[in-house]
Amino acid sequence: MDKRIFTADGADVRADVFVCEKLSGKTRSAVKKLFEGGLVSINGKIAKPSQTVSVGDEIEVVLPEAVEYSAKPENIPIDIIYQDEDIAVVNKPQGMTVHLGNGNVDGTLVNALLYRLDSLSGINGVIRPGIVHRIDKDTSGLLVVAKNDRAHLSLSAQLAEKTCRRTYLALLEGNLKTDEGTVTTYIGRSPENRVKMAVVPPDKGKLAITDYSVETRYKGFTLCRFDLKTGRTHQIRVHAKYLGHPVVGDAVYGIKKQKFKLNGQLLHAFRLTFTHPSSGKEMTFEAPLPDYFTSVLNKLTKV
């Protein structure tokens, strides 16, 4: 186990807030579990989350060793729209997590890929074999999977060099004032909720750039296209909120009370363009909007 010891040198603050600030990589839920497990103490006594930390207090936090999962093949139907000896392109459904972690030990895209494909790259280890980039659990659409390490390195380089192009469609609340534009901010962990991402000062996050353009305007809603120039966690969802028009169905960054009965946000990765690792040819794939998405659009009135 990893033991951390801190000495408080600032104003009085709640113990859980103090620990969250010191363990910047931990979410609030993870910190809560540390307290529940009796792994946080103040001046030698087990601490409560609401306990006050004062100047001079010694706070000890014991971090359990991380559990290393090994993904196992599972016979889960998935939509593989293309594959060859180097890559596979998958249309991921809404509600499926990409890889193991954070309590997800089965039912992930990786579990399905291990069953369906004859090989996957090993660069990301036993938890994320083949995974070059991700999309959120409740976001649907395209992602490319590497079947060997050479392909993985090529695709990763394209993502880093921004030559791999990813385009999304999203239905937004309200109507955007402009037909197109670019959002340039810095995105990092929300200071209010460590589970969420947020637009933050430059020294607190990473550069995030998203181009957007209006596809269709509806009464009270906008169907918008987003082109990622960077790949930050929840980037489109955070930028949509930043524009004042969150993605419909987004329970984290959007409106809590939903007009439609949805199981997640109406955000779909519909186009993916990259250079094939072996042939060097540019390849573009598209995936149509899922039925639940088009069903909502059919209920709306165009303006």
Residues annotated as catalytic are 136
Looking at residue 40, its amino acid is V
Instruction: Read off the tokens for 25.
Output: 């990589």
Instruction: Find the helix packing angle between 28-36 and 15-22, rounded to 10°.
Output: 120
Instruction: Read off the tokens for 108.
Output: 């992930």
In sequence order, which ranges of the chain are alpha helices (DSSP H)? 15-22, 28-36, 109-116, 149-160, 235-242, 291-298
7/43 Cα distance (integer angstroms): 10
Instruction: Read off the tokens for 220.
Output: 């009270």
259/293 Cα distance (integer angstroms): 13
Contacts of 162 (CB under 8 A, 6+ apart): 229, 230
Instruction: Read off the tokens for 153.
Output: 């390195």
Query: Rounded to 5 degrees, what are φ and ψ at 176?
Result: -65, 145
Residue 294 bridge partners (DSSP): none
181/165 Cα distance (integer angstroms): 17
